Structures are given as C-alpha cells and as structure tokens.
A and B are shown apart, each in its own frame.
Chain A
Amino acid sequence: MDTFVQQLINGLNIGAIYALIALGYTMVYGILRLINFAHGDIYMVGAFAGYFIALKLGLGPSWGGLLFVLIGSMVVAAIFGMVIERFAYRPVRKYARMTTLITAIGVSLLLENLFVALFGGQGRGFPQLINDTTFPLFGNAAISKSQILIFAVSIALMVILQWIIFKTKVGTAMRAVSFNLNSAKLMGINTDAIIMFTFALGSALAAAGGVLTAQYSPTIDPLMGITTGLKAFVAAVLGGIGNIPGAVLGGLLIGVAETMVVGYGSNIGIQSTYRDAVAFAILILVLLIRPSGILGTTVQEKV
C-alpha cells in the first residue's frame, strides 16, 4: 500500500509537469491548429533562464529567490515565445499544414542547436533554491518539499490560467479566436495580438515546468525538452487537443501510468525500460476508441 501511494505521488508529480507543458500545446493548437513542436524546447529555455538568473544573482535556498527565479524565467520564456510567433509562425500561418509543421520543427532545431553551440551539450547542475527535505506520510511513503512545491505551484498556475481564460477580457477574446478566427476578426478582436498572448502564456507555463523540474531533478541540458516535450504533447492529444482540462487530465494520467509501470510492471512481465512506451501505447488505445481524445469533441465534417 505504501509503495502504491509513493508511486502515485511520484506519478502525479511528473504528471503535473507534463500538464503544465501540455497546456501550452493545447492552447496553441486550439487557436492555430498548429502542433508547436518547439514548445518542448521552450521548457528547456525556461530551465536555462532560471539557471542563469539564479547563478548571476548568486541565489541560495530561499522562498523569495525561488519566486524571483520562477517569475524571471517565465518572463524570459514568454518573450521567446512571442518572438518565435512573430518571426517564424506568423509568416507561414496562411500556408498548408505541412509547411507550418516543418517551420515548427525548424524552430525546435534552432533552439536546441543554438543552446548547444552557446552553452555546450553537457548537463549542468541547477542551483538548489529550496532545502529539499522529505516528510514521512505513513509506512515507507514520503513526500519531499520539492514535490509539494511542484503540486502547489502547478495548481496555482492552473487556477490563474483558468481565471485568465474565463474571467478576463483577453481570455474571452482567446476563446472567441479559438472558436472561429475569422469571425473573431470581424468582431474587432486583434487576433494577431491574441495569438501572441497565447504563445506568451503557454511559454510561461512551460518555463515554470522547467524550473520546477530542475528543483526536483537538478540537471539541465539543451536537449532535455525533446522527450519531455513529446510526452507532454502526447498528454495534450490524449486529453483531447484544444481542451484545457483535457491537457491536465492527460498529463496526470501519463505521469501516473509511467511510474506505475516502473513500480508494478515487472509483476505482469513489463520491464521498467518500457516506461517510455507506455505513454504512446495509452495514446494509441485511446485514439482508436475515441479518435479525438478523452475530453475532445468530435467535429462533424461538412461536405
């Protein structure tokens, strides 16, 4: 029982990070129908931004320092997201799907290779901004401070996101744009600005995910966003891409499934090395039963 609880906590933790990144994928897809393959690399940019802010200011373990690093990296990533949207995606927005997809892959390669060229490909130790201690729950199960932090911050960010989308003017505009871009334009919404804001919002969430992960497992490198980004994208599709609660649900589901395979897979003959395959296996199963994801809505094709 305590192993199960422990795996559940670990799984929800990883899942919360996937969910934060998946939100960016799903918001951009909801508005532009674009798979933003560079989003995983924005998560990496966020982690690096946090690393340099903490290093330059010589920050030690303190709540204020952590908050500063978190907000700083979110701002940096938001700027990255807006610049990418303006100079790479906006010019190709009107072209065929495949073209925009290749542009996204190009941006992803650009960020990875730029960071490798600038900072080298080897991993770096992220400075610890909290004194990580573990609190025993019951039996052998325990929860660490950094895990509590991940839960607290990601829940807070999701609540803020929900508030922005449903209670503010700009959120209403975002929903209008994702509903129908051309009609939104006719209603006087500055769609370009809204799209840019969406990118900024998604990138900031991914950056928060990057900094939080770095508190939990403190090695960062320029290619860290590839696998995590892909899984977060899978989470977004799993929940129903374009659907915000779906992204959170998908992220948590994949995180828990992964740790459960590591914890219990050997009992049913699945080695823990299959961990990375689980996300895809679940995805394919769900897509075959519900082709638009768990919470996605099926759109009837018009002739």
Chain B
Amino acid sequence: MISFVKRFLIALIIIAVLYALNLAMSKEGLFGFGVPLYQVDLWKMAGINIILAVSLNLINGFTGQFSIGHIGFMAVGAYSSTFMTVYYTQGLEQWLAGILGASVAAAIVFALVIIIGALAAAVAGLIVGIPTLRLRGDYLAIATLGFAEIIRIVITNMNKIGGATGFRGCVDPITNITCSDPSLGRLTIPAYTNFFWIGFLAVITIVVIYNIVNSDMGRALISIREDELAAQAMGVNTTRYKVTSFVISSAFAGVAGALYGHWRLPHPNDFTFVRSFEIIIMIVLGGMGSITGAVLGALVITFVPEVLRMLPGGVYNYRLVIYALLLIIIMITRPQGILGNYEIASWLKRARKRPEGGGAIGGSTGAPIAEQSDSTKKSEKELENR
C-alpha cells in the first residue's frame, strides 16, 4: 500500500514538473521565466528522440535483434494519426468541445489519435516482424531497412496524405491540391503537440520499457540476445518473444511519430534511412542495453550538433565534419558506449567504489573491459563459425 502511495506521489510530481516546464516553454512563460523558442524546439526534439531511442533499445539492445527500420514505424504513426485528425476527428472534437470545453476536447482527441498511431505502427511492426525476424544479424538489418524505405516510398506516392510535398492538411482527392472545401476535412494539421505531451509520453515509454526489461519477458529477451540457441533449448519461445518486442518497439515509434506529426507536419524526407541510423547512433553511443544510456545518447545526439553551431566563423562550415569525427573517435575509444550495459545509478555506484586515480581512465580495470573482451570473444566465435 505504501509503495502504491509513493508511486502515485512520484507520478503526480512528474506531471506537475512537466506541466510547469510546459508553461515555462509557452509563449507567455511561467512567473516571467520563459525559454527561448529555439531551445523549446530542441527540447521537444530531444523528447521525441528519447522515445525513439528507448523503444529501439528494446529490440536492438535487449533482444539483440539488429533492426534499422525504426523510422519507418515512426512514419506510419505520424501519417496515420495526422490522417485521422485531418479527415475524421473534427466532428468528434467539436461535439466534445460543446460538452467539456475546447482544450479538454483537444486533449481527448489527441490521446485518441496517438493510440491510433501507435496501433497502426504496431500492426506494421507485426506485418514486418513476422517474416523478417526469422533472418539473422545483418540480413535482418537490411530487410528492416528495406521495409522502412518501402514504407517511405509508398507514402511518397499517396496523394491523399500529401505525397512527395509533405502533408499539411486536407488534400482534394480529385485535383490533388489543398482543399478549398472545409467539409472535406481540416485544412491544416492541428498543432496539438506541446512539451507536456512529449515529456509525459517519454516518461511513459521509459517506465514501460523498464518494466518489460525487469520482468519475465525481459529476462527471456536478454537470454535471446546472449544466445538464441541456448534460450530456445531452455524452452523460451524465441520467435514469439522477438515478434512481441518488435511490435512493442514499433508501437512506441508510432507514438513518437504521432507527436512529431502534430508538431512539425510530416514530410517523407523526415523519414529516410539516415534518420534510422541516427537513432541507432543514439543507443550505441549511450550504451546498448541501457535505458538511461539510450536517454543520454538521445540528448547528446540532439544537442551536440546545435552546440557545434556556436563555433566561430571559419570552423563553422566544418561543424558536421567535426560531428562525424567525434562519432568515429568515440567509437574507437569507448566502443561499449558511454554507459555500456549499465544504468546510470549502478554505473555511478561502480565509479564510486573504484580506487581514486587508479587506471580508471586508462581503462585497464573495471567491468567495461570485461564487456569489451566479451564482444571480442563473440566476434572470434563468429570468425570460427564461418
């Protein structure tokens, strides 16, 4: 009972903090304290990236199945949810607004379309996952990449959702130009998304993935990552667990897509495979198989390019070159990512236990090296298996 009260209080505090932050990020600000618009956008993007990275980490980091098609499911979520708000939910929202007030009605409708986006992405995940998860390693990676590209190209060819020019609002099915008749649908996608929604759903994502990882299912997933054959021999239904985690992961990508779609208006160019790589970079940088690592990676990848914008004139043009170089150097010097397999809490505990100044920086002691030699062993095993 006490733990229930405690959890409830924590949830309330998180909501209150997010609400206050949301006010601070609005135009008016909170108690005269406001965040510049440009930084607000960055924090929103960071939140969406956290949802994407944490959810991809479930399949890539914990289940060990190498997917590089995450952005495709985000696209499905973005387009299906905006499709609903443009063509179908307007009447519902007006009806609800008459009873509950405009802002509550908008919130209910948005929650509804986020769920629709998540479900659509989950269905897409199921359709993609069932055939492709039979494949292993690099073949799985390239098949998921292929599916994501196909999803993007199909979207590019659908005129009702804007096609190659991006989706802004209602498109007349006959003339293929923006509607002039409001009865056909909304003329612009409503901008429901604010920082509260993004922050709230990022927290939900983290909590759900954390609970999955620390449950029976999580242990089954990790056993698949460590050794699929052994897991199968122990009676783990590997196919079912792989597909389930893939579907859950896709559903959260759909949530991220719904948030993105009602903020930036979806465009096919936002969902290229290059963006999929970006999400993978986040989780590898933060440490595969670490939820806090994925959060950290998402923050780093969102903010580092912006920090590099502050470089002085002559170097400014080379900021993306520096970004790429940093990425390579980090991979060479810290291949297991910033946190490796650890969560921030246990990582700090370990760091405190470590003797002062002794070899920690040189990296000759401590668990990360053990993990590193593990992967060396693994690749050696792969070499033997050829």
Query: Which residues of chain A have a CB within 8 Å of any CB of chain B?
Result: 29, 33, 35, 88, 91-92, 94-99, 101-103, 105-107, 109-110, 113-114, 116-117, 179-182, 226, 230, 233-234, 237, 241, 271, 273-274, 276-277, 280-281, 283-284, 287-288, 291-292, 299, 301-303
Contact B385 A274 (CB under 8 A): no
Contact A283 B142 (CB under 8 A): yes
Q: Which residue of A lies closest to B128 (CB)?
A: A284
Q: Which residue of B lies closest to A233 (CB)?
A: B142
Contact B143 A96 (CB under 8 A): no
For the complex, is B66 an interface residue (Cβ under 8 Å from A)? yes
Contact A181 B328 (CB under 8 A): no
Q: Report Cα–Cα, A298/B135, bound state, in Å.
A: 12
B151-159, B182-190, B246-254 - the one binding chain A: B151-159
Q: For A288, what are the chain B residues with a Cβ–Cβ distance below 8 Å?
A: 131-132, 134
Q: For B135, what are the chain A residues with a Cβ–Cβ distance below 8 Å?
A: 287, 291
9 nearest interchain CB pairs? Answer: A280-B146, A110-B324, A113-B320, A96-B375, A106-B327, A95-B335, A109-B324, A277-B153, A106-B328
Contact A117 B321 (CB under 8 A): yes
Q: Which residue of A lies closest to B283 (CB)?
A: A98
CB of A282 to closest CB in B, whole Å: 9
The secondary structure that dominates the A interface is: helix
Q: List 20 A-B contacts (CB under 8 A).
A: A33-B138, A92-B335, A95-B375, A96-B379, A97-B137, A102-B285, A103-B327, A106-B327, A107-B328, A110-B324, A110-B325, A113-B321, A116-B320, A271-B157, A274-B153, A276-B149, A283-B142, A284-B147, A287-B135, A302-B384
Contact B157 A274 (CB under 8 A): yes
Q: Which residue of A lies closest to B230 (CB)?
A: A303
Q: Report Cα–Cα, A39/B335, bound state, in Å.
A: 22
Contact A230 B273 (CB under 8 A): yes
CB of A10 to closest CB in B, whole Å: 21
Q: For B380, what are the chain A residues with a Cβ–Cβ distance below 8 Å?
A: 182
**With A92-B331, A92-B335 in contact, do A98 and B288 touch (Cβ < 8 Å)?**
yes
Q: For A33, what are the chain B residues with a Cβ–Cβ distance below 8 Å?
A: 138, 379, 382
Chain A CB within 10 Å, residue with most, of B132, B320, B328, B376: B328
Task: List 20 other contacts, CB 8 Å, given A106-B331, A301-B385.
Answer: A35-B138, A97-B66, A98-B60, A102-B285, A106-B324, A107-B324, A110-B325, A114-B318, A114-B324, A117-B320, A181-B383, A233-B142, A273-B153, A274-B153, A276-B153, A280-B145, A281-B146, A287-B135, A291-B139, A299-B386
Q: Report Cα–Cα, A114/B319, bound state, in Å.
A: 10
Q: Report Cα–Cα, A91/B372, bound state, in Å.
A: 13
CB of B282 to closest CB in A, whole Å: 10
CB of B15 to closest CB in A, whole Å: 36
Contact for B332 among A103, A105, A113, CB less than 8 A: A103
CB of B230 to closest CB in A, whole Å: 8
Q: Report Cα–Cα, A234/B386, bound state, in Å.
A: 22
Interface positions of B from 267 to 317, Cβ below 8 Å from A? 273-274, 277, 280-281, 284-285, 288, 317
Contact A113 B324 (CB under 8 A): yes
Contact B288 A88 (CB under 8 A): no
CB of B77 to closest CB in A, whole Å: 20
Q: Report Cα–Cα, A114/B143, bound state, in Å.
A: 30
Q: Report Cα–Cα, A181/B318, bound state, in Å.
A: 38
Query: Which residues of chain B have a CB within 8 Å of any CB of chain A?
Result: 60, 66, 131-132, 134-139, 141-143, 145-147, 149-150, 153-154, 156-157, 164, 229, 273-274, 277, 280-281, 284-285, 288, 317-318, 320-321, 323-325, 327-328, 331-332, 335-336, 372, 375-376, 378-380, 382-386
**With A109-B327, A226-B274 in contact, do A94 and B157 touch (Cβ < 8 Å)?**
no
Contact B320 A109 (CB under 8 A): yes
Contact B327 A102 (CB under 8 A): yes
Q: Report Cα–Cα, A226/B138, bound state, in Å.
A: 19
Q: For B372, what are the chain A residues with a Cβ–Cβ distance below 8 Å?
A: 95
CB of A15 to closest CB in B, whole Å: 18
**With A33-B382, A97-B66, A181-B383 in contact, do A92 and B332 touch (Cβ < 8 Å)?**
yes
Q: Which residue of A lies closest to B333 (CB)?
A: A91
Q: For A281, what are the chain B residues with a Cβ–Cβ distance below 8 Å?
A: 146, 150
Contact B331 A103 (CB under 8 A): yes
CB of A237 to closest CB in B, whole Å: 5
Chain A CB within 10 Å, residue with most, of B134, B332, B384: B332
**With A95-B376, A287-B135 in contact, do A102 and B331 touch (Cβ < 8 Å)?**
yes
**With A117-B320, A291-B135 in contact, do A284 and B331 touch (Cβ < 8 Å)?**
no
Contact B143 A97 (CB under 8 A): no
Q: Which residue of A lies closest to B272 (CB)?
A: A226
Contact A283 B328 (CB under 8 A): no
Contact A280 B139 (CB under 8 A): no
CB of B144 to closest CB in A, whole Å: 10
Q: Report Cα–Cα, A103/B281, bound state, in Å.
A: 9
Contact B383 A103 (CB under 8 A): no
**With A96-B375, A98-B288, A102-B281 in contact, do A277 and B154 touch (Cβ < 8 Å)?**
yes
